[in-house]
Chain A
Amino acid sequence: MLNVGQIEEGFVLDHIPAGKSMSIYYHLGLDKLDCCVAIIKNARSEIMGKKDIIKVECDINTLDLDVLAVIDHTITINVIKDATIVEKRKLELPAELKGVMKCKNPRCITSIEQELPHIFYLADPVKEVYRCRYCDEKNADRF
């Protein structure tokens, strides 16, 4: 099995559904970071069969975890300090998302006023449906 070294300080995103790691990499803006980032694809998993893992050597507070929750709120976050896991964070669907998704409704005011922030609210937590704060249109796609 491929061996990727442990990190001293940072965090590990575990239990990412296989194939989603690159989407997370870009949407979390990990490509813009200067620190060490390791992406492991298709790792063996007893529960999931296959999974992706991302290890990042930077402060977790620099990230917008809302984006991660919307991509997949079942992903596990392990916060690492001195090479040991000091915290396991659970993701919850945020009640409001600002600047994460764009409203695609051509009749929405955001379609003509470009400077408006795109804001979505969680309309149905069970079905994980977000709707545009301005026009109530359902978000068409989720990353």
Chain B
Amino acid sequence: MRHLMNPMDFSVEELDRLFDLARDIEQHPEAYAHKCDGKKLATCFYEPSTRTRLSFETAMLNLGGSVIGFSDAASSSASKGESVSDTIRVISCFADICAMRHPKEGAPMVAASRSRIPVINAGDGGHQHPTQTLTDLLTIRALKGRLDHFTIGLCGDLKFGRTVHSLVNALARYDDVHFIFISPEELCIPSYLRDRLKENHLSFEEVIRLEDVISRLDLLYMTRVQRERFFNEEDYVRLKDFYILNKEKMNLAKEDMLVLHPLPRVNEISVEVDDDPRAVYFRQVQYGVYVRMALILTLLELV
């Protein structure tokens, strides 16, 4: 029995198979509509996350299965002091697979160690969110046709953004990926990630302004720059516009550059960009459902 805790749990070959399956699901959804008949997914969400939970639930319903679960800790036994280990032992009696989100880092790993059913980490604090990374990779692979030989710009809060760290680690396994990190100095990539890229002789550069590099990008991964991350208001006001993607900046970009975003978007991508065919962040949400369908089928060994 396998679980998914970290996007790196799967080898590149296993990811290829997963993404092939997800693409087949996209093209032939009817062939998968009853693959999970009689199976149940438990969504154990100890903190609210509407989009991720609904994506998992949609994935299971699309496969013909059903869903049980809770959407915040207050409505679970955790409010009575039950441990994660005990909860998963109970859930193992009810469901066939579990997606768990927890504010504490490592909680899904504890659950997996005690579980009789596959456990998927649906986000544990600031630690890992592997299905977001799988979603990002599938989107790139589906729309670019490959996961290698490109330049990707990652823009915004690169210090605290776990989706960025995860995506960089995952893409580092593919050939000839050049990373351009675009952020204010206060929010640059953490030193451990920079060291890892250097040790592995990966190609990267760090810049302050999006406008300076956008014309060179094949992919742009946007994240939000939050006001509270800055030491003072002046710095925030001075820098925030560098990290807002608008029509003007899109005019500088390649015709086939794709814009991704893990969502929710606040103001870092102007709504005027939404109609640009290169803006694929809402399609990314759809790929999130396909990849979760593929993941459920894989972990339940139904393929």
Q: Do A and B bind each other?
A: yes
A residues touching B (Cβ–Cβ < 8 Å)? 105, 107-113, 115-116, 132-137
Contacts A/B (CB < 8 Å), 13 sampled: A107-B103, A107-B127, A108-B105, A109-B106, A109-B107, A109-B124, A113-B83, A113-B110, A115-B83, A116-B110, A133-B109, A134-B107, A135-B125
- Measured CB to CB, the closest approach of chain B to A21, in angstroms, equals 34
Residue in A112, A115, A134 whose Cβ sees the most chain B Cβ within 10 Å: A134
- Measured CB to CB, the closest approach of chain A to B123, in angstroms, equals 13
- Additional 17 contacts, C-beta under 8 A, given A110-B106, A135-B127: A107-B103, A107-B105, A108-B104, A108-B106, A109-B106, A109-B109, A109-B110, A112-B104, A113-B84, A113-B110, A132-B106, A133-B106, A133-B109, A134-B105, A134-B109, A134-B110, A135-B105
- Measured CB to CB, the closest approach of chain B to A99, in angstroms, equals 16
B126 proximal to A (CB < 8 A): yes
What A residues does B106 contact at CB under 8 A? 108-110, 132-135
Q: Are B126 and A109 in contact (CB under 8 A)?
A: no
Chain B 102-142: CB-based contact to A (< 8 A → 1; otherwise 0): 11111101100000000000001111000000000000000
> Number of contacting residues on B, CB 8 A?
15
Bound-state CA distance A136–B83 (Å) is: 21
Chain B, residue nearest A127 (CB): B195
Bound-state CA distance A77–B89 (Å) is: 44
Bound-state CA distance A134–B5 (Å) is: 10
What A residues does B125 contact at CB under 8 A? 107, 135
Bound-state CA distance A137–B124 (Å) is: 13
What B residues does A112 contact at CB under 8 A? 104
Chain A, residue nearest B6 (CB): A136
Chain B 189-223: CB-based contact to A (< 8 A → 1; otherwise 0): 00000000000000000000000000000000000
Chain B 64-108: CB-based contact to A (< 8 A → 1; otherwise 0): 000000000000000000011100000000000000001111110
Chain A, residue nearest B125 (CB): A107
- Measured CB to CB, the closest approach of chain A to B77, in angstroms, equals 14
Q: Are B104 and A111 in contact (CB under 8 A)?
A: yes
Chain B, residue nearest A113 (CB): B83
Bound-state CA distance A6–B110 (Å) is: 48
**Chain A to chain B: the 3 pairs with minimum beta-carbon distance, closest first:** A134-B106, A135-B105, A109-B104
What A residues does B105 contact at CB under 8 A? 105, 107-109, 134-137
Residue in A116, A132, A137 whose Cβ sees the most chain B Cβ within 10 Å: A116
Chain A, residue nearest B126 (CB): A107
Chain A, residue nearest B103 (CB): A107
Bound-state CA distance A111–B104 (Å) is: 8
Bound-state CA distance A32–B83 (Å) is: 33
What B residues does A107 contact at CB under 8 A? 103-105, 125-127
Chain B, residue nearest A115 (CB): B83
Bound-state CA distance A107–B83 (Å) is: 16
Bound-state CA distance A132–B124 (Å) is: 14
